[in-house]
Amino acid sequence: MRQFIAKLIKQNINTTVPATGLAIFRCLYGIIVFQEVIFLLFFRHLIFDPVPFIDNAYPIIPLFLIFWAFIGLCLIVGRYCQFASISNYLLWLVFLNFTPMRHEFGGGFDQFMLACGLLLIFLPINRGWSLDLLYYRLRNLTINFPKTQDVSILCYYLPIIFCLCFLYPDSAIHKLWAEHWLNGLGAWLPSSHPYYISAVDPSWLLNNELLQRCLGYLIIIFQLAFPFFIFRRHFQPLFLIVGVSFHLGITLFFNIYPFGLMMFFFYALVVPPHWWRLLKNKISYNSPLLTVFFQPSNPNQIRQIVLLQHFDFFKALQFKEDTNNKSPSIYTLNKHQPYSSHLSYATIFWHMRYTLPLSLLLFTPVLGPFVIKKQTNNTKPLKPNYALMSPPTVLYDVLHQQFLNYPIKFIYKFSKILCFLALLQLNTTINYAFLYRLNLHDNPTLTPLTNASNIVCVLSHTFLGITPHALYVHDHFEGYNRIFAIQYLGEDNNYHWLPFINEQGRILSPNWGRVHSMWANRAVTPHIKENNLNKALLKVTAFWGTKVGLSLNNAQFKILSKPIRSPSQWEYDLRSNNLNGPWKTIGSVNWINNRYQSNFPNLFTPNK
C-alpha cells in the first residue's frame, strides 16, 4: 500500500496548477468559520452558560470568540495566513473538547472543519487572492507579480482524499445498515421530519416515489464510487455536478445549512484546477481598456500601481512608466486629454467595472477632491523592484524545499504518513460500522482489540477530525413518532409560540445548526431521557424566555406534543401530514425565583 501511494506522489508532485482553487477554498472556509463564530456569540448564553443569563460561563469565552471571528476574517482576506490557519485549528480543538460544543451542541460538521483546518496549515493558501501577497509586494515595491502562483496538484488531491474520500465510503457503509436507506428513502425520510427541514417546501419532489428511490440509491452509489473515479479526468465533471447538487440540496431543504454549505464550498477543490485558469481568461478583457502612467522613481505611485494591479481582477488596466512627467500622482489619458488627481482614479475605477460606486463618488465635483487628497512628491526617489520574487513563506514552502533537497526521502516519509492516516480511517470505519453494529464489543475474546481500537478512535477523532459519519440512519428515525414544542404565557395572559419551534413543528432560524442538534438529536429522540429533556428545556426556556422579555423570577411555559410518522416505507404527502398534525399539552415548565421547575404527569411513567 505504501509503495502504491509513493508511486502516486512521485507521479503528481511535480505537476503544477493554478492556486486559484485553494485561494477560493480559503475564502469560503473563512466565511463558514466567521458565520459560525457569530452564531456562537449570539447563542453564547444558551450554549456555554450552565443556566443562561443566571449561572454564567467563564467571561473569557466571548473574548476567545471575538478573536476567532478575527481569525475567520483573516482567512477570508488572506492576511497572516500561517498564523490564522494554526490559530483556527487550535481554537476548533479547544472549543470542541472543553466546552458543550463537544456533546450537547455538536454541529454535525465540527470534525470536518477540524480536519480542513489542520490541512490549511500545510497548504499554500497565500498564493492568490491574499492580502499577505499584497503586503509583501507593497513592502518590497515589487512591480511584477511574484513568480509562483502555481502549486503542486497534490495541494488539491490531498484535501479531497483526506476529507471526501474518507468521508463518503464510511458514510455509505453506515447507510447500508439502515432500512430506509436500503429502501432508497434516505433523502425522503429526513425531508419529511419537521425537526430537520427548512422553510423551503419540496413536496413536489418528495411525492414522486420513483424519483425519491432513485435519488436515495444514487447517493449511496455516488459515495461508494467517489474515491475510485474522482481523479479520473473523464468522470470529474459528472461527480462534480452530482456532489454539488447533493450538498446544495442539503443547504436549501434542511436546517443544517453549515454542514451543507461547508461541503458545497469544499467542491472548490474538486473543480479541475485548470478550469479556474480558463474561467479567469473567460471573464478577463482580451486587451486592457485603459493605460495608467506612473513615475518609476516615485514610491507613492509605485505603491498605488501595486494596489491597482492586485485588485484589477478583470485585467482592465495596463501600466506604463513615464520618466519625463513630474506629476505628483498617477494619470491616465482619455482622448489624449490627461486625467490626474481624483479624475484619474475615477476613470480607473470606472474601467475596473466592479468599483463603479467609487468611480461615481470621485466624479462628484464636490466630494471627489476631498476623497483623494493632493499628493506631494517629497519622498526619497527610489527604483522599482522588477525582480520576480517568491511569495511570503509558509509551512508548505519549507516542506517543498525538503522535497527539492531530498526527494526520495521526502516521498518515503510522506507516503508513510498517508498510509497511517488511511489506517486510522479504516480503524474508525471497522469499529463503528461493523464491531458496534454486530455487537462484537460485548465479546470478551475481542475486548483487548476493541479497547485498543476505541483509544485510537478517540485520538484520531480529537486531533485529526477522523470520525464515523453515521448521519440520518435508522438510529435517528426508528421510533421517532412524536415531537415537542414550547409556548410561553405573555403579559396578555395568552400563550404564544416561543421563537424556537413554530406551530408546524419546524425549528425556526436562527436555531438551526448546533442548537437544532441539541434539541432534535439529544433532547427529543426516539428514546427520550428525562434528564436530557429537562436540561434542554432549562436552557431553551431561560434563553428565549429572557429574549422575549420574560422575567425568570416568574415565567410560565407550556410543553406541547404531537404525533408524527417516520416510516421506512414511502408514503404520499408525509411531510405535509407531519407538519399539520394536532398539538396536545403534555406538561409545563415554570421559573420561580430564577429556579427551574418542570411537570410531566404521564411522560416518564414506567409504562412509557
Residue 476 vs residue 226, higher pLDDT: 226
- Rounded CA-CA distance 43/514 in Å is 10
> Which residues are CB-contacts of 590 (< 8 A; sequence separation ≥ 6)?
555, 556, 557, 596, 597, 598, 599
> Running DSSP on this structure, what letter comes out for residue 581?
P
Entry pTM:
0.92
Residue 321 vs residue 547, higher pLDDT: 547
Residues 4-26: what's their mean pLDDT?
Answer: 90
Residues 573-586: what's their mean pLDDT?
Answer: 95
Least confident of 186-195, 388-397, 467-476, 597-606: 388-397
Least confident of 10-19, 497-506, 577-586: 10-19
Q: E strand or H helix at 333, and its extent?
A: strand 331-334
The pLDDT of residue 146 is 57
> Which residues are CB-contacts of 47 (< 8 A; sequence separation ≥ 6)?
40, 99, 100, 101, 104, 105, 514, 515
Residue 379 vs residue 186, higher pLDDT: 186
SS3 378: coil
Residues 257-282: what's their mean pLDDT?
Answer: 92
Residues 256-284: what's their mean pLDDT?
Answer: 91
Query: What are the C-alpha distances in Å from 220 to residues 100, 248, 413, 569?
Result: 32, 17, 34, 18
> Running DSSP on this structure, what letter comes out for residue 264?
H
Least confident of 32-36, 355-359, 494-498: 355-359
Is pLDDT of 181 > 80? yes
Average pLDDT, the chain: 88
* Residue in this structure with the C-alpha cell 422579555, named with its chain if needed: 549
Is pLDDT of 607 > 60? no
Cell matching residue 64: 476567545
Confidence band (pLDDT; 50, 70, 90) for 368? Answer: low
Is pLDDT of 400 > 90? no
Residues 434-455: what's their mean pLDDT?
Answer: 86
Confidence band (pLDDT; 50, 70, 90) for 136? Answer: confident
Count other Cβ atoms within 10 Å, centred on residue 41.
15
Least confident of 59-73, 82-96, 138-152, 259-273: 138-152
The pLDDT of residue 329 is 77
